[in-house]
Structure 1
């Protein structure tokens, strides 16, 4: 991120930036192996799938997941998350088309933000490797002994919460929504995609958005589409030849996709990864800009979903909810601080 970014790029994580459901993967590793664990996992997935089939909102499904972790120690979960990430990363965890788009945004000096319903144990290793400037995530409630209660601090980072967080960040940094980007794959991500001027659908995209709205949006292939392209010999939706995608695409990232959108501030244009233009208007950024004095926040900084019930803090323009690095947990609930103070407080 530049000292005064003029654009932001918001990235959904599961099945957008990475090829799997991170919380499911971390839970499976945390619970271990064996027949008893297999039955336990099967019962957990059946419970969640039952909620989904019954039409439960994604926010309810997300809350239900954290109830499986009652009594678990955050340190143990985060250690397990790091182990999972190291193994999965070696097998091709990152979804190449989206990862390369993220790298171009970072190279152009854009603010790179991960926005996910997952939590720190899943997201912190990823955020540190890719150099994310901010992580906006669901925050589990933690006891003074560091154990999860099964409840959350505020709302899950799902649906409208993602859009609200993106708007707060854009306001805090003085960014024009029309110049910003969002990458996401799910129906629940529509509010986030609609909050920016450059929405990018990953995969088949939300089904309820009318074509009259989405026809002008940029599309990138999802992980499952890359696999299907390899198996049936058809090109991926972005034009990547099937021969360039291996059948193991779910584990081994596909080759570079050069048609991913590049942050130009005006329009989405194809470009090679090494030829990203300077951000439009960067030279003219006013010295008195809200974000002018902000130094890049360290990777892994979390922005909590909501204020805790123990004290609703002001959410006026120019503030975002801030928790110190993801790995620290959240006890007590994170304060709301001015954006200009984020870097110094997180240091």
Structure 2
């Protein structure tokens, strides 16, 4: 298995990178700390929902026209800054695309194909960063505007402790095209506040990572924000405020558990596994986080 160093650069010198406190039992008496990660273009290189478009097409959930429209939307998402207008167009496309789908079919397709679809998209720098937080005893959370049907299995794959994601309204086992909860903007920050209140995290000591200026509420609710692969507006804001800036390489190189193991975990109950912090072990050899990520530990 190739063990190349994570490809990551910073726009500031290493002394300005976020310094991680040590929250392991017996190391020091501090309130529990968590690191909150956006998902799309922060941990993975694409929209997690649109990444499954081909699988949905082959299973008959998408027709050719919608598949092509999804491809165009994905390309636009990859190349454009995720401003509010762009995110709203993406939301409308996804909710319209999913209207009428059988929820059990979506869960089955995601469980069976997650390893092949998502694993190649995960930034190795993000995996190293998550590992670094775990080594310091920090909890890890995914907080994403994407649907929980995609985000929760990815949370299992990454062994995160908490997941908050958008929830589509379901009637008679099918999506209606409406949202019960849209984990975006201020609502994403509210989700972080809820997690912190439930688990006693001191947000002044917590970390947050995102790529989009639309996630400023998420970044500003914690004491240690860092921007990852930022759009130009967020990069400017980070520079003006002295926030660390990370740029992960566009060639993800992770290695996770095998598809059968992941599918088994999903079948046993994604929500329960994520809620308890139980997931699939990362099988890639652990590298020194200081060298590969450049953080002061």
TM, length-normalised to structure 1: 0.58
Runs of 5+ in structure 2 lacking a partner? 1-22, 256-270, 279-297
Tell me which protein shows more helix as a share of its residues. Answer: 2
Give the 3 Å change call, closer, same or farther, for CA 31–127 of structure 1 in structure 2. Answer: same
Question: Mapping of 1:297-316 within 5 angstroms?
Answer: 298-301=272-275
1:20 aligns with 2:46: yes
Trace 1:1-347 onto structure 2 (pairs within 5 A). 6-32=32-58, 37-44=63-70, 56=85, 58-59=87-88, 61-89=90-118, 92-143=120-171, 145-154=172-181, 156-207=182-233, 210-211=236-237, 214=240, 216-222=242-248, 226-227=249-250, 249-250=251-252, 252-253=253-254, 298-301=272-275
- The runs of at least 4 consecutive aligned structure 1 residues that moved more than 4 Å come to 1-5, 44-50, 52-55, 208-215
Say which SS state the counterpart of residue 108 (structure 2) adopts. helix
Task: Give, in whole Å, the separation in 1 of the partners of 2:70 and 2:123.
Answer: 27
**Structure 1 unmatched runs, 5+:** 228-248, 255-296, 303-324, 326-347
Aligned counterpart, 1:306? none
**Structure 2 vs 1, CA of residues 205 and 180 (structure 1 numbering), >3 Å: closer, same or farther?**
farther
> Are the structure 2 counterparts of residues 127 and 53 from structure 1 closer, same or farther at C-alpha, using a change threshold of 3 Å?
closer
Q: How many residues align?
A: 231
- Contact (CA 8 Å) 1:179, 1:196: kept in 2 or not? yes
What is the TM-score with the length of structure 2 in the denominator?
0.66
Deviation per residue, 1:236-284 (Å, 9 max, x gap): xxxxxxxxxxxxx24x359xxxxxxxxxxxxxxxxxxxxxxxxxxxxxx
Q: What per-residue deviation string (whole Å, max 9, x for no partner) do you get for residues 197-254 of structure 1?
A: 11111113451564576552122213xxx24xxxxxxxxxxxxxxxxxxxxx24x359
Is the CA contact (8 Å cut-off) linking 1:118 and 1:137 kept in structure 2? yes
